[in-house]
A and B are shown apart, each in its own frame.
Chain A
């Protein structure tokens, strides 16, 4: 039951700064890389992620686009086919539905339809999640929609280190990678080793070790899960927290490993339960490790309602620390 302690010198920064540093590094280090999206340039990014990069790299490489999600995501795909390494920012996952045609029908399919001739090395970053009273059309968690599609890779950096370094690995990938950044994380800060570097984008990671119950989560819910684990520890319960990091491919081995150790599972996902990511994680456990379970699995997900504006309602709709603690206690018969 230990929180991983940084070994060497560390640096502290916000999630927002970490993402920005990742982009700056990528653009500075490779002429083929450019950032494109709505208000990423002169405005500095809707969430101020790209603030300062326009002045540093100019309008060619920090490229403002009109409000044409399908057009500029598709243009990113075309540019990737033409030898560039575009980073396309979509302001929120809700807006990305306007670009679903290009993401699902083009980016995900070109390699296959062309019999392996045309890979699409594009990185699409988008904001996901609720918690900022932005109402139903800016708050949804639709990661699972994309994670459904063969041909895409879908990742969700939840830590400062992943926010900083997943992009570099995604840009090295010859195929489309979608990065989901949870809106509530941008302002959070944390530390990472000063000598950190590119990280893999296809494995899950244990963020807290434990023996009594596994909590599997990703993205904006990781910190809630860690806080819940802390509260459970106060009651003498040792919870293990697994951060999925990659939503497609899912790291089934890591999922099975933690469940095989603790024999109890709570899945936390800000998406809805129905036909969602939590259902997929649960299905894999049932398929491959059902006999490891000592208790029914609990899922803590958003209530099946569009995310409301009013603060109290929004909070009620989302998975909260308390819900995770209660779920864990229930399957531990406490």
Chain B
């Protein structure tokens, strides 16, 4: 890491995602948030490490477990939370909810809740950049479950065939909802599938933010240099249930606990403490800052207002042509 501010920034980002998600769970219990809610707890190093390597103007296409990606892109936490409150002040004006966070300014293209559905979009964004000669990268996130979808294979092939500036980020958390990878796919080495499309494919410890950042950095640099699409398999684990409705019958508590020993935040802090980059006081300061930001976000969401019912049919078609 060349940037001296980076360690603290990465740590704070992960803590922010963790605490934000914990707050979401709490607000869900309080029935402030409804619908499906998918928490990113345990997987923070992935979005944090990858998105830190992107430049302004790059695009992100994410899944329905995308709060962390939105936060890492710098989308305002209050507006994300307001979206989950169904408030008009939300990032998608309350039309999207937890699974459909969008931000045109940050180039966040969802929040896509059809598994695999975001991949062709990323291919198209890359194609537009290629055709317009723009030096931009599109990073698309998807779970290992998406690898079983036809859209995964179609998109990998198209991106490689057309040599598009797309970074494929497979968040392999081992379970597609409740179905374990080895119960769903014959070839469980995902990078092998990616390699078959003639693109560089690396597996990365997704619990180690430094490893994620280094791999993503190398991939993004190569893509910007005209290296075509790259693929990262980020091996991670979700500490919480799939959604708020999941009784977790498909995995052992021991397995979850074992992974918790590799908590990405604890691991990173331990490392930073060991090499005297940061100390407990720094961590406490980060926690305080994050707590204040989350308080502000909650206050913003609580003050959110509801879009008038008369606006129900807005955004079916663009308003510039509406009569």
| Residue positions of A touching B, CB distance < 8 A | 34, 60, 65-66, 68, 70-84, 86, 101-102, 105-106, 110-119, 150-151, 153, 173-175
Contact = CB atoms under 8 A, between A and B. Distances in A.
Given A68-B158, A84-B131, A175-B317, A115 B125 contact: no
Contacts of A84: 127-128, 131-132
Interface stretch (B4-12, B87-95, B272-280): B87-95
B104 A79 contact: no
A148 to B, nearest CB: 13
Interface residues of B, number: 46
A160 B260 CA distance: 67
B259 to A, nearest CB: 32
B161 A114 contact: no
A332 to B, nearest CB: 37
Nearest to B92: A115
The 9 closest A-B pairs by CB, nearest first: A78-B124, A74-B120, A82-B128, A71-B154, A115-B93, A114-B102, A68-B154, A174-B318, A75-B124
A117 B128 contact: no
B60 to A, nearest CB: 13
Contacts of B315: 111-112, 114-116
A150 B123 CA distance: 25
10 contacts: A68-B158, A72-B154, A79-B124, A79-B127, A82-B132, A83-B128, A84-B127, A106-B120, A111-B316, A115-B92
Given A71-B154, A75-B124, A113-B95, A119 B114 contact: no
Contact of B158 (A75, A83, A86, A105): A75
A222 to B, nearest CB: 26
Given A34-B131, A83-B128, A86-B124, 12 more contacts: A75-B121, A77-B124, A79-B124, A79-B127, A80-B128, A101-B151, A105-B117, A111-B315, A114-B110, A115-B315, A117-B104, A175-B317
A245 B100 CA distance: 34
A82 B102 CA distance: 15
Contacts of B151: 70-71, 74, 101
Interface string B116-137: 0101111111111101100000
Nearest to A69: B154
A257 B109 CA distance: 43
B253 interface: no
B121 A81 contact: yes
A113 B126 contact: no
Contacts, number: 150
B103 interface: yes
Interface of B: 59, 90-96, 100, 102-104, 109-112, 114, 117, 119-129, 131-132, 150-151, 154-155, 157-158, 161, 314-321
A71 B92 contact: no
Nearest to B132: A83
Contacts of A81: 109, 121, 124-125, 128
A82 B132 CA distance: 9
Contacts of A101: 114, 117, 151
Nearest to B119: A74
B314 A79 contact: no
Contacts of B124: 74-82, 86
B128 A78 contact: yes
A117 B155 contact: no
Contacts of B90: 115
A70 B318 contact: no
B131 A113 contact: no
Nearest to B122: A78
Contacts of B125: 78-79, 81-82
A74 B321 contact: no
A115 B316 CA distance: 10
Contacts of B132: 82-84
A139 B91 CA distance: 43
B96 to A, nearest CB: 5
A80 B92 CA distance: 20
Contacts of A68: 154, 157-158
Contacts of A118: 102, 104, 109
A177 to B, nearest CB: 11
- Most A C-beta atoms less than 10 A away, residue of B93, B126, B128, B155: B128
Contacts of B123: 71, 74-75, 78
Contacts of A119: 318
A248 B150 CA distance: 30
B95 A114 contact: yes
Given A78-B125, A79-B125, A173-B321, A71 B103 contact: no
Contacts of A77: 120-121, 124
B104 A174 contact: no
A169 B11 CA distance: 51
A151 B94 contact: no
A116 B124 CA distance: 20
Contact of A78 (B91, B127, B321): B127
B95 A115 contact: yes
B161 A74 contact: no
B100 A113 contact: yes
A215 to B, nearest CB: 29
A86 B94 CA distance: 30
